[in-house]
Structure 1
Amino acid sequence: MTPRPDTLAAALTTATSFVVNAVEVLRFGGLQTDEEPSPFEIATRRPMYRLRRYYGPVAGGAGHRPAGVDVDEVDVDAVDVDEGPRPPIVLVPPMMISADIWDVSPSTSAVAALHEAGMDPWVIDFGSPDLEDGGLERTLTDHVVAVSEVIDLVTAATGRSVHLGGYSQGGMFCYQAAAYRRSRDLESIVTFGSPVDWRGSAPLGVPEDVIVNVARFVAGYVFSDRSLPGWLASTGFRLLDPIKTARSQVGFLRQLHDREALIGHERQRRFLGGEGFVAWSGPAIVDMMQQVIIQNRMMVGGFVVGDHVVSLADITCPVLAVLGEVDEIGVPAGVRKIAAVAPSAEVYEFPVRAGHFGLVVGSTASSQTWPAVTDWIGWIEGTGERPEGIAEVGPDSAGDPTPTTAVMLAAEGANQVAGIGVGMVRGAGHLAVGALQTTRALGYEALHAAPRLMRLGQIQTGTRISFAKIMAERARTQPGDACFLFADRVHTYSAVDARITNVVRGLIEVGVRQGDHIGVLMETRPSALVAIAALSRLGAVAVLLPPSPDLSELLLLSSVSEVVVDPEHAAGVTDAGARALVLGGGADRDLPGDLGEGVVDLERIDPDAVELPRWYRPDPGRAGDLAFVVFTRTTGSWQTKLVTNHRWALSAFGTASAARLTAASTVYCLSPLHHPSGLLTAVGGAVVGGSRIALSRGFDPATFDEEIRRYGVTVVSYTWAMMRELVRQPVHPRDTLPTITLFMGSGMPRGVWRRVLDRYPGTRVLEFYAGTEVDVVLANLSTSKQGARGRPLPGTAEVRLVEVDPDSGSIITGPGGYAVPSEVGAPGLLLARPRLRVDASIRRLRGVFRRGDTWVSTDDVFERDRDGDFWLLGPASTVVRTSHGPVFPIQVADALGDLPEVDIAVVYGVPAATGPVAVAAVSKWGSTAITAADVGGALVSVPSAGRPDIVHVVDTIPVTNWYRPDATALAARGLPKAGPRTWIRDPASGEYVRLTKAVRDGLVPSTVTDGGR
């Protein structure tokens, strides 16, 4: 059959059109359109960006000003304030997509839609980094600071606060900039497909472990010294959905003959095809991988912007999160998390049936996104009603499970294949991860702890190891990482190490030499740690002085004549007779020009002008050398404790291993630096782990949650009952703390332990026992037993428990005169067998278990359970030796602390006519009364002979400056008064009954003046 002429003509026309259009595409990269971009002017030009103002006073009058006119390259103040009441909105693109994303074509232009709705649109143009001077060296901080700077510029130009909008990563910049400036001059934030959680809600459903490991590889090996070209960014974007990309290309070819059908979408196609993508600088990629993915700083806080540390909790302005229901990049669950991490902001969401790109470009954006945004701005401005379809998102609902995108895609007939494919990938990934859970749980600790424990085990007396040496290692291996976080400022390892070196030069200039004992008396601040590290680098001994009215006594006791101080303590040191070496103080320093006799300002010494002596060698300290001197006061008089470099390393490496500290960890150091747990455990563990140290001026329960959020704290250090003050604080409904994983310290009462876990679900308590001068470290690594001290850490001293005489406390010997080991569940004195040479000042025990062996007593009584875990019963000096047997203070206090009605408890001895009487005092938690039956029931876990004779309720139990419950004042009062809140144990029945005045009077010795009568 012969084809009809009209059919042949149509086919020829179609073929001709196809060829003509194809040639045009090959020649120009696409079809030429008559569309003009929206008019804008360059309001200001900076090295980091150009600021576009669309439809401004110059370009926007009649709308025929050519696009891109540069009216002011320097000063935005030259731009006239718009005469109308248009609310300004600043739009921020992602790093790898050009600013034209906001104006791809007239039919889908964001700026055109917003302008027509009465807005004043401004756009940040970061340009093409590979074409800008220094563009490929840009960091994440550069982008965030640029956004903040633009807010100031637009505010100055318009005379009013701005609305801030960002697409994808541009929205993340908006959150970060808003936190950086604490929402100053911001009316609201609008983001489009901008997740804050890239780990728990990873794109394409990739398991969290996988995306973190990929991010580590990319940051460490791929982009550490190279950038991402624009063409590769475009290719990667299209490969995220290869089926849709292929379908689009096939559809384009099938319609290439029909110019009219293609022309309306041509600019959009060309934009996605590569023209809209720009290079991405390597430092910015690495920074994003480190902070956003590996460390998850947008979720946990502690995001570093320059030398500032911020948290998204600092956002207080309203937030509208526009999310795509079928968005595989900005996963809805991850987008909603902004409500969980910004509890002070009112957060709303607007769901759109679109993918990632369709949120801001295309027909859906034109018909849904931009009308919703304009209505939102009108509502915020007070000129309109709350838009339909916008729902408030609370912190609790932010984590609600979202229907899997695969299911949604499956409902889209055209996308069914792609949806099933993504779902299969996601399911396979989760299945594989689930199969590896047990293996990883068994091997994780050994994998991360092995290198540290191996190094610890290799340390010998002559091994060079010290606090300053580890700091220098960190400065070499992770120079740009945060070391200290203090007063919202960030101090990097490299900056801190340089500061240490400068302080060393100042110390040398004033005559400090290797081996000198130099006091340190400073408030908790970075300069205090720098001073301690500088003395360590010099090879001097840092004598850590607590602030005390007994300063003269402490100086005499430690033979110190020179003290490094902050300005606040200078006068006190000179009054005590020592020379004050003043360091630090920052903006608070107020020193006169003439400092007077006995005061030297180290800050006035030019380190570059100091000639180093030939004897100086950085970090000369060896394991056996004395590093620090600390002070304790447990018996009413001050005592010095000597800490060697090995002892410091033991605690530091042990803590880093036990707490699994890494560069992603932030340790909140609440202990003062003169307390052993501060320098040995919290700071030492953080430095060895390469972690960040959040320093606090002092423990304040009222600001605890806020600082946890700001610094992104993952590990909180404590001493004794410190956390008791925290759990007393009311819990606010919006205070969700996703950051803390661990509390670590020593001496937490068991009742406080329980309340901490109740207040912060999902955390755990890592309880340490560490001797200041003995190489023993116990930690409850493998147990969740509340109150247990755990087992010896690998690499620390061997420990044994030996029986002691219940009356004298001396070690019991058996056959051959050797010590008798304690049985399981029986009390015993803890002995340690040191690995290295023992200092001569420490009393050594010889021939304990065999001829010639050497052991050191910790002077603490423990018992060991059948699992091998050690339980501290109390220091030997505090055991109350009654006629019915020894009463161990911590054992009794923990048992009473198990009562929900008990706050904390202490045990002490009081002389009586019948001999020493063991008295337990408890303070109340809540308003419920404590009864004798409660007391008897709680003490069932204590052996009968070890129960206290008297238990009474007191209004409060004092604690020391280090939060250790202190029974000194209670013991000084003698026996407690008779009354309804005091009970005595009936020897016949073993039950606790009310103490009467007659019984009490019978216990008071005639030779004792009873202050409590």
Structure 2
Amino acid sequence: MDLSAITRPVGRLVATAQNGLEVLRYGGLETGTVPSPFQIVESVPMYRLRRYFPPDTRPGAPPPGPPVLMVHPMMMSADMWDVTRENGAVGILHRAGIDPWVIDFGSPDKVEGGMQRNLADHVVALSEAIDTVKETTGRDVHLAGYSQGGMFCYQTAAYRRSKDVASIIAFGAPVDTLAALPLNLPAGVGAAAADFMADHVFSRIDIPGWLARTGFQMLDPIKSAQSRLEFLRQLHDREALLPREQQRRFLASEGWIAWSGPAISELLKQFIAHNRMMTGGFSIHGELVTLSDIKCPVLAVVGEVDDIGQPASVRGIKRAAPQADVYEYLIRAGHFGLVVGSKAASQTWPTVAKWVRSIEGDGDLPEGVVPMAMQPPEPTESGVALSSRVAHGATAAGEMAFSLARSAADAVVAANKSARALAVETARTLPRLARLGQINDHTRISLGRIMSEQARHAPGGDCLLFDGRVHTFEAVDRRINNVVRGLIEVGVRQGAHVGVLMDTRPSALVAIAALSRLGAVAVLMPPDVDLPTAARLGAVSEVIADPSHLEAARKLSMRVLVLGGGEARDLHVPDDADVIDMEKIDPDEVDLPGWYRPNPGLARDLAFIAFSTVGGQLVARQITNFRWALSAFGTASAANLGRGDTVYCLTPLHHQSGLLVSLGGAVVGGSRIALSRGLRPDRFVQELRQYGVTVVSYTWAMLREVIDDPSFVLVGSHPVRLFIGSGMPTGLWKRVTEVFAPAHVVEFFATTDGQAVLANVSGAKIGSKGRPLPGGGQVELAAYDPDDDLILEDERGFVRKADANEVGVLLAHPRGPIDPTASIKRGVFAPADTWVSTEYLFRRDQDGDYWLVDNRSLVIRTERGPVYAETVGDALGGVDAVDIALTYAVEAGGRRIAVTAVALRPGGSIAAGDLSEALSDLPVGAPPDIVHVVGEMTLSASYRPMVTPLREAGVPKASRNAWHLDVDTNRYKRLTAAVRAEMVGGQR
């Protein structure tokens, strides 16, 4: 009888019992391994800095190699770099001649104040550790980070603008977090969930170490179950288990530490919900940072079957850091297997050592390290490929079933992508439109009120960005309330007209919002106009000025309130001057009077007075709270603005577009407001990335100052998704969308009284003003006879509605107060109805989109028929060489001549054939008599082309860049002196 048949099972059972008892008693099997030696170079409450294998300081000893500082994720112990001495990261790098350092953030639940740490604290700590390593070694530092530790490396390098950073090695570190979320969650669902969890869950709780471990395991529950089952099956074979025992114990229990709620909340909000590693504009202790400031080489280690740091997400670094040389190393491993385990020991760490040597100039790039492509070739970048999931792991059948379920879900998601996007947009837009529809004359609504609501909803959220710094909603709201107290202290009451003479700065926004909250009227005074006239038209009683406009304000012979400009300043005013420094008023010492109620403004109340120039005359435009709300809610809805957006307010706040569209839309949308010190091409792209700008505001031809500038260069990706504003020339519109693709333009048209608001939301038809804004008033086109300047009626005496592509006068059904100067018409389409004539001419195409034709009073009536300036401009804007086209009337020879001035793009040229082709088939109206090229188009302060200088120059002179319309051939020919003489003399 073979006794081994009996003893072998018994021995196996005994070995299993002995090993199992050891696991239960000690948490694992005793391996006999000892950790690698290290010294603590620096120890502070936030971290300890370890230097492994301290160098031999004896004379003649070889110097240490290049330093590599390794960074662990917040939920995992720093011991992950030394799980096993022989096969751990620090041991392998040391044997390769590298000087390994490790930053240890410790366990925050065991450190005083540790559970209040936020994400920025870790970035600043890592930056300080880099300084220490640099000072100690005298060499630039290579940063190596795993998972979120890799994110820390990217963020810190950007925060330092790559100072003293030799290179970055990131292992499975997500950058484009919404490109491929774990479990293949749709981006919209993931972002919304992250935002909710940040605001309502992790703002109140922390994650203990055991929960961090459980959460990590639940991201891949099948693999976790496989590992446990395999361990139990081999529990009898100690020799088989020992090589992986340290790794198992690390993942099972020892490697997990607590995670502070503020740090999780910030991670979820900034880098998942708002994806700001891709867009830029994330905040590190109030300083705005963008990965585009990374200039050092980057090696991204990509796990082919990594379901946490998925390839699509990891490869986002290529787009996020356009100034860096980005490489990748693809390894067939899961998330933890990138840095710990047999493949990490045989592939990852030897490759990292060779990478460091190559960056130091000591060898070529390691095998398998290749430049990262901008668009990786894998067709399944939405997640890890199905084939990779199926092939990876011991239980192929189980993984296949799990992966097929995910793939099926992906198919459903893809098939319903447009429906989901529509649902998300509807969920965000409908409440705004519903609120707008409920506004009546007695509704309490104002800028100050909306800002209060946003501050209550998200007090710690980013509100205002300026000069590279970020200010929260709570801080801005507190500053507004303090300024209100200051205004009350100096005697400003509800209903007072207070001038605001300030540059576009945070203090200007605060002043405007404070006046709104007080119930006073903010008279927005442009610095470049006749200020005494503006003060008179606005009935100004006193003026708020910043220090730079103090002298101009003092000339108005009224009291001047100085606000902003920083704490350290000297106003240099005589003692008897009627000037009050608002910054010296202590708001805590101000007693609020009984009459004060914050945000008392009703929809019908006058809120602002803005100014425009008409025919060379300054005209005051009254803006009620309803008018402001209509534009603000309409803009937020049309542009789909939300908390993830950053609106770049290039338009001055004293301009109606800046107040109503940029500021208004951002405030209603809860978006971040980025203020600029003015339009400068050399700063434009840098601020886009630093602030993470997603929406850029504009007026007229403003953006040509950027894209036509010789120094303008747009390298790599950008965060902009929309340009919003009004008056953009069609040629410029086309170029902007080409340069900033895939961003598009949302063009608005709004009358000064706000009764008619149109928006081209899709941006598909360049030049179109779109359709009536949802939630706005009803508009109609009244049929129009341009020859007799009459609105046409039908056989019953009512106004006839214009047919498709027929010129008509835009009429608006009034909502809210009607401007007393408006052209009011009654009994228009039905008995006793009331409409307001905008005095603008439009045509409506077959699809229902509106196209601006001209102002009714500016139509040029020639012998050949009416010439419409906007229609001609739209047509010429389609010529590639044309920058701006402006059509105007010139009196010559006893008749009116239609002249179009054309400014060309830098280096552009135009021929008669181009003009003839572009103007041969206008949708309405006749082409101009003369077209000529001008060297430069004069623009107003709001970048609107000015016609007065051109008109005053009279009929253009004959030249090779001037053409006239030959009425016999309907083609353009060179304008000669003889032809010009005939036109001036009235013989043509």
The TM-score with structure 1 as length reference comes to: 0.92
Aligned with 1:331 (options 291, 307, 310): 310
How many residues are matched?
A: 984
Give the Cα–Cα distance (whole angstroms) in 2 for the partners of residues 248 and 274 of structure 1.
14
Match of 2:916 in 1: 936
Give the Cα–Cα distance (whole angstroms) in 1 for the partners of residues 479 and 819 of structure 2.
32
Aligned with 1:212 (options 169, 177, 191): 191
Report Cα offsets for 1:891-949 as digits up to 9, x if no partner.
11111111122221000000022411111111223656423232122113325753212
Match of 2:448 in 1: 468
Matched, 1:614 2:614: no
Code of the residue aligned with 1:949 in structure 2: it is D
Report Cα offsets for 1:451-477 as digits up to 9, x if no partner.
101101111111110001000000000
Give the Cα–Cα distance (whole angstroms) in 1 for the partners of residues 471 and 713 of structure 2.
33
Cα distance, 1:490 vs structure 2: 0.5
CA change 1:456–1:370 in 2 (3 A) is same
Give the Cα–Cα distance (whole angstroms) in 1 for the partners of residues 417 and 73 of structure 2.
36
Aligned with 1:46 (options 27, 44, 47): 44
Code of the residue aligned with 1:767 in structure 2: it is E
Aligned with 1:827 (options 798, 802, 807): 807
Q: How does 1:558-573 map to 2 (within 5 A)?
A: 558-573=538-553
CA change 1:418–1:88 in 2 (3 A) is farther
Aligned with 2:95 (options 108, 116, 134): 116
Give the Cα–Cα distance (whole angstroms) in 1 for the partners of residues 839 and 572 of structure 2.
49
Aligned with 1:286 (options 265, 272, 280): 265
Match of 1:990 in 2: 970
Cα distance, 1:625 vs structure 2: 0.6
Matched, 1:680 2:660: yes
Cα distance, 1:753 vs structure 2: 1.5
Cα distance, 1:316 vs structure 2: 1.2
SS at match of 1:586: coil
Cα distance, 1:538 vs structure 2: 0.8
Match of 2:23 in 1: 25
Matched, 1:321 2:319: no
Cα distance, 1:851 vs structure 2: 4.6
Report Cα offsets for 1:534-560 as digits up to 9, x if no partner.
111111111111111522222233232
Q: Is the 8 A contact 2:154 2:291 kept in 1?
A: yes
Match of 2:511 in 1: 531
Give the Cα–Cα distance (whole angstroms) in 2 for the partners of residues 982 and 970 of structure 1.
14
Code of the residue aligned with 1:18 in structure 2: it is T
Give the Cα–Cα distance (whole angstroms) in 1 for the partners of residues 2 and 686 of structure 2.
81
Report Cα offsets for 1:44-103 as digits up to 9, x if no partner.
33333233333347xx889xxxxxxxxxxxxxxxxxxx9944433221111111111111
Indicate the larger mover: 13-22 or 645-654: 13-22
Q: Is the 8 A contact 1:465 1:646 kept in 2?
A: yes
Q: How does 1:150-229 map to 2 (within 5 A)?
A: 150-229=129-208
CA change 1:164–1:437 in 2 (3 A) is closer
CA change 1:232–1:639 in 2 (3 A) is same
Aligned with 2:613 (options 633, 655, 658): 633
Match of 1:275 in 2: 254
Q: How does 1:41-190 map to 2 (within 5 A)?
A: 41-56=39-54, 84-190=63-169
Indicate the larger mover: 530-539 or 208-217: 208-217
Q: Is the 8 A contact 2:306 2:384 kept in 1?
A: no
Cα distance, 1:329 vs structure 2: 1.6
CA change 1:115–1:847 in 2 (3 A) is same
Report Cα offsets for 1:302-339 as digits up to 9, x if no partner.
11222111111011122122222222222223222212
CA change 1:53–1:714 in 2 (3 A) is same
Code of the residue aligned with 2:233 in structure 1: it is R
Cα distance, 1:874 vs structure 2: 1.8
Cα distance, 1:410 vs structure 2: 4.0
Match of 2:897 in 1: 917
Match of 2:2 in 1: 3
Q: How does 1:188-587 map to 2 (within 5 A)?
A: 188-395=167-374, 404-412=384-392, 414=394, 416-417=396-397, 419-548=399-528, 550-586=530-566
SS at match of 2:25: helix
Cα distance, 1:588 vs structure 2: 8.0
Give the Cα–Cα distance (whole angstroms) in 1 for the partners of residues 752 and 589 of structure 2.
39
CA change 1:203–1:743 in 2 (3 A) is same
Give the Cα–Cα distance (whole angstroms) in 2 for the partners of residues 589 and 814 of structure 1.
68
Aligned with 2:705 (options 708, 725, 743): 725
Cα distance, 1:789 vs structure 2: 0.8
Give the Cα–Cα distance (whole angstroms) in 2 for the partners of residues 264 and 813 of structure 1.
93
SS at match of 2:658: helix
Give the Cα–Cα distance (whole angstroms) in 1 for the partners of residues 62 and 602 of structure 2.
73
Q: Is the 8 A contact 2:499 2:524 kept in 1?
A: yes
Report Cα offsets for 1:821-864 as digits up to 9, x if no partner.
33332222222221223243545334444454332222211112
Give the Cα–Cα distance (whole angstroms) in 2 for the partners of residues 697 and 809 of structure 1.
45
Cα distance, 1:160 vs structure 2: 3.7
Q: Is the 8 A contact 1:552 1:577 kept in 2?
A: no
Give the Cα–Cα distance (whole angstroms) in 2 for the partners of residues 479 and 945 of structure 1.
54
Q: Is the 8 A contact 2:446 2:625 kept in 1?
A: yes
Code of the residue aligned with 1:24 in structure 2: it is E
Matched, 1:643 2:623: yes
Q: Name structure 2 gaps, 5 residues minimum.
A: none
SS at match of 2:45: coil
* Cα RMSD for the two superposed structures: 2.6
Percent of counterpart pairs with the same letter?
53
Match of 2:880 in 1: 900
Give the Cα–Cα distance (whole angstroms) in 2 for the partners of residues 399 and 829 of structure 1.
54
SS at match of 1:108: coil
Cα distance, 1:481 vs structure 2: 1.1
SS at match of 2:895: coil
SS at match of 2:394: helix
Cα distance, 1:115 vs structure 2: 2.9
Match of 2:958 in 1: 978
Q: Is the 8 A contact 2:920 2:970 kept in 1?
A: no
Aligned with 1:659 (options 632, 639, 647): 639
Matched, 1:695 2:675: yes
Indicate the larger mover: 871-880 or 375-384: 375-384
Report Cα offsets for 1:137-170 as digits up to 9, x if no partner.
3222222222222222333344443221111111
Q: Is the 8 A contact 2:771 2:850 kept in 1?
A: yes
Give the Cα–Cα distance (whole angstroms) in 1 for the partners of residues 408 and 303 of structure 2.
24
Give the Cα–Cα distance (whole angstroms) in 1 for the partners of residues 21 and 878 of structure 2.
84
CA change 1:418–1:117 in 2 (3 A) is farther
Give the Cα–Cα distance (whole angstroms) in 2 for the partners of residues 272 and 436 of structure 1.
38
Aligned with 1:949 (options 917, 920, 929): 929
Give the Cα–Cα distance (whole angstroms) in 2 for the partners of residues 943 and 253 of structure 1.
80
Give the Cα–Cα distance (whole angstroms) in 1 for the partners of residues 308 and 234 of structure 2.
29
Aligned with 1:597 (options 577, 598, 606): 577
Code of the residue aligned with 2:176 in structure 1: it is D
Code of the residue aligned with 1:417 in structure 2: it is A
CA change 1:427–1:730 in 2 (3 A) is farther
Cα distance, 1:787 vs structure 2: 1.0
Q: How does 1:687-836 map to 2 (within 5 A)?
A: 687-729=667-709, 735-781=715-761, 784-807=764-787, 809-812=789-792, 818-836=798-816
Give the Cα–Cα distance (whole angstroms) in 1 for the partners of residues 884 and 561 of structure 2.
42
Q: Is the 8 A contact 1:461 1:836 kept in 2?
A: yes
Report Cα offsets for 1:564-588 as digits up to 9, x if no partner.
1111111111124333221112378
Give the Cα–Cα distance (whole angstroms) in 1 for the partners of residues 231 and 472 of structure 2.
52
Give the Cα–Cα distance (whole angstroms) in 2 for the partners of residues 593 and 150 of structure 1.
49
Give the Cα–Cα distance (whole angstroms) in 2 for the partners of residues 587 and 939 of structure 1.
59
CA change 1:406–1:919 in 2 (3 A) is same
CA change 1:447–1:254 in 2 (3 A) is closer
Code of the residue aligned with 2:550 in structure 1: it is A
Give the Cα–Cα distance (whole angstroms) in 2 for the partners of residues 198 and 891 of structure 1.
45
Indicate the larger mover: 553-562 or 866-875: 553-562
